[in-house]
């Protein structure tokens, strides 16, 4: 059932996303260990929805997530810092505009 | 059982109420004892996630037991509440089938016992949602959703272990061989089961058994496990004759109420 090349001593890690109510996005709530996707759903149900927190669960193997490198934060995120004109609040809205 | 024990006193009830009382205890005690057994895993499970998984199932079962034993107390009509019935009866007054009190063993054995009982409860509760007894129908409607998840959890594990490594397969097959004989009692219809079915209170056990077998066979096939042969049995937990295991369970479960009578929190 599991890939024999994986470390058998520890179950793989899954990231858990829960939709709190119909119409809302799935939000990342945490992670857990499980041997397979079905077990991950069961564990997520027991760990993260026991107080009626959700109506839908997604689980994703953590290894399948590609993350940005914190070492590149300067080049990735710094340039946005001085571009305040990208916020809508930067612009003054003419009085004539009633509904925007 | 001594002459003043509540079940014997219960015989003063009219025959209908007495039969219902005992039948509800059979259902309630099955959940109570199995829930207590599962609770022993808390803090000892193979993984934190399983600790929570088993505890969730245990809590569902205790919740079902509370509803059923409360109802049993009302049917009995002697003012006994859920706590008195759960914690202050004697060994011979518990009417659970003895499969529920069998030891946890390793995780695989716990899972095998769980699959066998989950599938039984599922078939019983599904049919009981149309019971002529409205209270039992309501309890069944609530419980059937819980039990459906229990079987998903335990069945998933049985397939994983049965169709897993050589060792996990051997362990769950051996647990199945050991526990299978106790399943006979679940379906051994006696006078009480017959009366309840005739009155439309409970499903007919022969129907339950046929459906249960189909379900179990499906899971076992997926788990690559072999169904053991039925053997005659000679135990009657449903009549209050238990294995030695129940005594240890009750000692732990009743200790607090017997030491501090009426304790609440």
Task: List, in order of start, the domains of chain B with CATH numbers.
Answer: 6-227+236-259 (1.20.1260.10)
Q: Give the pLDDT score at A1.
A: 47
Which residues of chain A have a CB within 8 Å of the CB of B152? 42
Mean pLDDT over all residues of chain A? 88
Low-confidence ranges of chain B (pLDDT < 70): 1-12
Q: Give the pLDDT score at B10.
A: 46
Q: Give the pLDDT score at B68.
A: 98
| DSSP annotation string for A49-100 | STTS--SEEEEEEGGG-----GGGHHHHHGGGTT-GGGSGGGSPPPTT----
Which pair of tokens denotes residue B120?
């039984």
Q: To probe the interface with A, which of B38, B41, B42, B49 has the most A CB atoms within 10 Å?
A: B49
* Contact: A38, B153; criterion CB under 8 Å: no
Q: Give the pLDDT score at B129.
A: 98
Q: Give the pLDDT score at A100.
A: 66
Which residues of chain A have a CB within 8 Å of the CB of B53? 42-43, 46
Rounded-to-integer distance, Cα A15 and Cα A28, Å: 7
Select from B27, B19, B12, B10 the least CA-distant residue to B186.
B27
Other CB atoms closer than 10 Å to residue B74's CB: what's the count?
Answer: 15
**Residue A58 pairs with which residues in a beta bridge?**
A17
Which residues of chain B have a CB within 8 Å of the CB of A38? 156
For B49, the closest chain A residue by CA position comes to: A43
- ipTM (interface predicted TM): 0.74
Distances, alpha carbon B3 to alpha carbons B95, B184, B247, in Å: 18, 30, 20
* Contact: A1, B52; criterion CB under 8 Å: no
Rounded-to-integer distance, Cα B106 and Cα B170, Å: 12
Q: Give the pLDDT score at B3.
A: 41
Of A2-6, A36-40, B33-37, the least confident: A2-6
Residues 6+ apart with CB under 8 A from A38: B156
- Touching check for A32 and chain B: CB below 8 Å? yes
Q: Give the pLDDT score at B5.
A: 45
Task: List, in order of start, the domains of chain A with CATH numbers.
Answer: 13-90 (3.10.20.520)
**Residue A16 pairs with which residues in a beta bridge?**
A30, A59
Is 50 exceeded by the pLDDT of residue A2?
A: no
Rounded-to-integer distance, Cα B99 and Cα B30, Å: 9
Residues A15-44, mean pLDDT to the nearest whole number: 95
* Contact: B153, A42; criterion CB under 8 Å: yes
Q: Give the pLDDT score at A89.
A: 85
Q: Give the pLDDT score at A7.
A: 58
pTM for this predicted structure: 0.86
Other CB atoms closer than 10 Å to residue B61's CB: what's the count?
Answer: 28
Angle, helix B134-162 to helix B205-222, in steps of 10 degrees: 20
- Touching check for A59 and chain B: CB below 8 Å? no
């Amino acid at each position: 059932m599991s890939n024999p090349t994986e470390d058998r001593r520890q179950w793989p890690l899954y990231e858990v996303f829960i939709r709190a109510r119909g119409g809302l996005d799935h939000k990342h709530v945490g992670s857990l260990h499980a041997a397979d996707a079905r077990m991950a759903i069961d564990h997520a149900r027991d760990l993260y929805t026991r107080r009626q927190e959700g109506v839908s669960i997604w689980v994703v193997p953590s290894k399948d997530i590609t993350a940005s490198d914190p070492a590149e934060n300067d080049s990735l995120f710094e340039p946005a810092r001085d571009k305040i004109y990208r916020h809508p609040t930067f612009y003054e809205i003419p009085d004539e505009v009633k509904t925007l | 059982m001594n002459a003043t024990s509540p079940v014997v006193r219960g015989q003063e009830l009219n025959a209908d109420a007495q039969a219902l009382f005992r039948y509800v205890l059979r259902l309630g005690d099955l959940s109570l004892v199995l829930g207590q057994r599962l609770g022993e895993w808390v803090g000892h499970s193979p993984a934190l996630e399983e600790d929570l998984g088993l505890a969730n199932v245990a809590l569902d079962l205790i919740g079902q037991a509370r509803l059923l034993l409360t109802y049993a107390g009302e049917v009995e009509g002697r003012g006994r509440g859920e706590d008195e019935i759960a914690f202050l009866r004697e060994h011979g007054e518990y009417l659970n089938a003895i499969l529920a009190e069998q030891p946890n063993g390793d995780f695989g054995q716990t899972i095998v016992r769980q699959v066998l009982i989950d599938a039984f409860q599922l078939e019983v509760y599904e049919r009981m949602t149309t019971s002529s007894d409205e209270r039992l129908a309501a309890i069944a409607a609530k419980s059937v959703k819980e039990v459906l998840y229990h079987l998903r959890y335990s069945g998933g594990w049985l397939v994983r272990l049965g169709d897993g490594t050589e060792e996990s397969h051997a362990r769950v097959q051996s647990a199945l061989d050991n526990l299978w004989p106790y399943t006979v009692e679940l379906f051994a219809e006696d006078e009480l089961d017959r009366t309840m079915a005739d009155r439309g209170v409970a499903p007919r056990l022969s129907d339950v058994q046929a459906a249960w077998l189909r379900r179990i066979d499906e899971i076992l096939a997926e788990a690559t496990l072999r169904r053991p042969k039925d053997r005659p049995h000679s135990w009657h937990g449903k009549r209050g004759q238990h294995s030695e295991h129940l005594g240890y369970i009750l000692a732990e479960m009743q200790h607090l109420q017997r030491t501090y009578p009426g304790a609440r929190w």
